[in-house]
Amino acid sequence: MLGLAVMILAFAIGSAFSGVAFYSYYEFKKDHSDQLVRSYDKRFALAEKTLQSETANAKSEIQKELEPIKKVQAEGSTLLQLSKQVKGAMFAVRTLDEAGQPSVGSGFAVASDNSQTLVLTSYTTVRAATHQPGPTISVKQGDTDVRATLWTWDEQQDMALLVVNKGNISKLSFAPRDPPPALGDRVFAISAIAASGAAVTQGFVVDVSSLGIEHDAKIGPAFQGGPLLNSKGEVLGVASRSYAPIGFATDAVYYAPPVRAACGKLLRCPDEQTVSGAGARR
């Protein structure tokens, strides 16, 4: 009996020690697991911050790489916005040339009151109408076709001024004299002969002088007489296919007479905002 009691006591003591040992091991493993979790959380947070930082740096580098491309080619949204901005001032110009063939171009409003609008266009487009008797000139905006009166012109600068009996037309603003356009500036030529009311071609300033703005925006017949704009939609010059101040035409580039060359002979421009007709009808 005594031996059995001793065995039971020994077993109990052994079990107790075993329980303590197992509990200690459990606590050790639990603490170790908690440390691993905390360490993982720290590493994960650090990795996430590093990834965010690297993503931001990558985006910045991509934007830097895209900047030259953005300067070379305007986005479609830019052209669409510019078209919407100016189409209310644009007119398609139609008449006949000296041979009785259709002559087309564009024009843009520079002044307008309740009943009349002054439209600047290309002399080349309406040249036959400068002689009497001459063909009639009509201008179209949207679905409205109106007869226009040729008021005066400047053959040397390839500009002509039309009077249209239609009022309350939005007008385009002239670009400030300072700063003048610089080499490499982007320019836009606008034609009113378009389904949307304003078609756009773009190019860059090649040279600037007192003679005009040399640029490489494509100027087709439908664009002549339309405005040459800067990126703000302000008029720099009048698009021309025939203006050649250096005495001969140049390949792939065009000269645009400065729009302010119209001030004095065709228009009165007392300040930066006010424009009215000048001179007498010829």
Confidence of residue 6 (pLDDT cuts 50, 70, 90): very low
- Domain locations in the chain? 1-72, 80-277
Taking a C-beta distance cutoff of 8 angstroms, is the pair 206, 183 a contact? yes
Q: Is the pLDDT of residue 281 over 60?
A: no
CA 42 to chain centre: 47
Over residues 172-195, mean pLDDT: 93
Instruction: Dihedral sign for Cα 154, 158, 159, 162, please.
Output: positive
Q: Is the pLDDT of residue 70 over 60?
A: no
Confidence of residue 251 (pLDDT cuts 50, 70, 90): confident
Q: Is the pLDDT of residue 272 over 90?
A: no
In this structure, the dihedral spanned by the alpha carbons of residues 144, 147, 153 and 157, taken in order and rounded to 10 degrees, is 30
Q: What is the DSSP letter of 263?
A: B
Q: How far apart are CA 135 and CA 113, in angstroms?
A: 27
Pick one of 2.40.10.120, 3.40.50.150, 3.40.640.10, 3.40.630.30 as the CATH number of 80-277: 2.40.10.120
Convert the pLDDT of each residue in 12-62 to its tens digit. 555 544 554 555 555 656 566 666 666 666 777 777 777 787 777 777 777
Question: Using H for helix, E for strand and C for coil, what is the string for 152-185?
Answer: EEECCCCEEEEEECCCCCCCCCECCCCCCCCCCC
Convert the pLDDT of each residue in 206-236 to its tens digit. 999 988 999 999 999 999 999 999 999 999 9
Tell me the pLDDT of the chain averaged across its residues: 83
Convert the pLDDT of each residue in 83-92 to its tens digit. 999 999 999 9
Q: Of 206, 212, 195, 226, whose CA–CA distance to 255 is shortest?
A: 212
φ/ψ of 251, rounded to 5, equals: -75, 135
> What predicted TM-score, i.e. pTM, was given to this entire model?
0.72
Q: Is the pLDDT of residue 130 over 90?
A: yes
